[in-house]
Homo-oligomer: A and B are copies of this chain.
Amino acid sequence: MGKKLTSRSEDYSKWYNELVVKSDLAENSGVRGCMVIKPYGFAIWEKMQAQLDKMFKETGHENAYFPLFIPKSYLSKEASHVEGFAKECAVVTHYRLKSAEDGSGIVVDEDAKLEEELIVRPTSETIIWDTYRKWVQSYRDLPIMINQWANVVRWEMRTRLFLRTTEFLWQEGHTAHATRQEALEEAEQMMHVYAEFAEDYMGVPVIKGTKTESERFAGAEETYCIEALMQDGKALQAGTSHFLGQNFAKAFDVKFANKEGKQEYVWATSWGVSTRLMGALVMTHSDDNGLVLPPNLAPIQVVIVPIYKGLEQLDKISEKVEPLVKALRTKGISVKYDKRDTHKPGFKFNEYELKGVPVRIAVGQRDLENGTYEVARRDTLQKELVPAEEVLDKIKGLLEEIQENIYKKALDFRNDHITEVDSYDEFKRIIDEKGGFVSAHWDGTKETEDKIKEETKATIRCIPLNVEKEAGKCMVTGKQSSQRVLFAKAY
């Protein structure tokens, strides 16, 4: 395992990076800004994918796959879209290498220059709407409810494992509708699906809201989002769902004949979550000892470690443990029985603590004699002796309890870090000293938003939904405001 993790209080950012690497989630690759997602990290991502995919299908979506490459000219068709993405595009210009004439290695073959450069997709609206044009003639062809699991590339200058990488994995939903209302409802629905996933599976409480115009997706008329709060008091945007109006339909000429036979442009949404969620998961729950994983997403929910001297003792322990492993698996619980003889129990305890396994069972000679198991939970680090006949029910209950507990802990922390302020001075003080979300009145202008961002590094994370309107005055300009919005420094 090597030496201990840097603590969160010492250096939160360093703690995060060390933890991601040491717990075998991911590491940097030899390619600038691109990461390797290691098997343990990928197993968590697979569980996220499986659950999200189920939720997408239950809400009527199907999966499909569109090309990785986007012709440069497609990107230009929606003006604000190209403006948003052009500066971070990986561009393919050639399709062949050849040996250098001076024998120094291989070089790009200049004879194999593409007529039109291709962009590695930063997001797929353009290639997808170019396709939808061929699929839509009549209102009978609508809605189209498609999701894609894919890799995308955005050339980022500063990258961090999971949180911001040049290539990342995500899903992107792209739907097409006959009416504005239906598209709006779809965009809102997917925000709710994301929130449900974050809270019930990741154990991460989120605030639902809409983005201000300047924080919106490039090409959207409205961006719905879910915002989470990390332990260092910084916010993290965990998912977005966009109402795209008719912007892409107009850019790609996607029309349909309505019931009256009249041609109309199609209404669109797009929505996505990415491997960034892995970062949110780590930063919400983990502690100075390592990961704390929610049982609903943990690749290993229960680990059993035998404590023994000599192989004869181990055999006796195994005789008792193996039926338990089977019984747990029958209940759909994923269990690992780690009887490696190459590592000591203490080493294994540290390893599974670092890797955030929710429940650890230890069993030694004395437990055999007393008919007990030592059951430890990762979230609170509490241990107790459980009679063998109760252990199965205990584990099942404990997994549910841990899932609830880590959510509640994160929720309490988040709620303790929403501060209402009415003056700009207090705002600055809270943003600087306490962090978290700051709820304040804002006059609704980009100028004020920019000024606050420049002076404090805090941005408007969202205009929260489902809160009471409350008239007030902008903390900066004193102008009228009808609702508080949430500010925070953010990842």
Q: Which residues of B contact A105 (CB under 8 A)?
A: 73, 76
| Closest residue on chain B to residue A156 by CB atoms | B95
CA distance A12 to B105 in the complex (A): 44
**Those of A51-100 within 8 Å (CB) of chain B:** 62-76, 82, 86-99
Given known A90-B118, A127-B29, A127-B30, contact A36–B67 (CB-CB < 8 A): yes
| Closest residue on chain B to residue A126 by CB atoms | B30
B67, B87, B97: the one contacting A34 at CB < 8 Å is B67
**Those of A83-128 within 8 Å (CB) of chain B:** 86-99, 105-106, 108, 117-120, 127
CA distance A72 to B234 in the complex (A): 38
Chain B min CB distance to A20 (Å):
14
Do B96 and A93 touch (CB < 8 A)?
Answer: no
Do B62 and A42 touch (CB < 8 A)?
Answer: yes
Query: Binding site of A, secondary structure by majority: helix, strand, loop or mixed?
Result: mixed
CA distance A86 to B86 in the complex (A): 28
Residue A398 CB within 8 A of the other chain: no
- The interface on chain A, measured as residues whose beta carbon lies within 8 A of the other chain's beta carbons, has a size of 64
B89, B127, B140: the one contacting A96 at CB < 8 Å is B89
Do B97 and A67 touch (CB < 8 A)?
Answer: no
Do A66 and B29 touch (CB < 8 A)?
Answer: yes
Q: Which residues of B contact A412 (CB under 8 A)?
A: none
Residue A153 CB within 8 A of the other chain: yes
**Those of A116-162 within 8 Å (CB) of chain B:** 117-120, 127, 130-131, 134, 140, 146, 150-151, 153, 155
Chain B min CB distance to A25 (Å):
11
Q: Closest 3 CB pairs between A and B? A: A34-B67, A39-B62, A86-B97
A-B contact pairs, 6 of them (CB 8 A): A30-B74, A31-B127, A34-B68, A42-B64, A93-B93, A140-B342
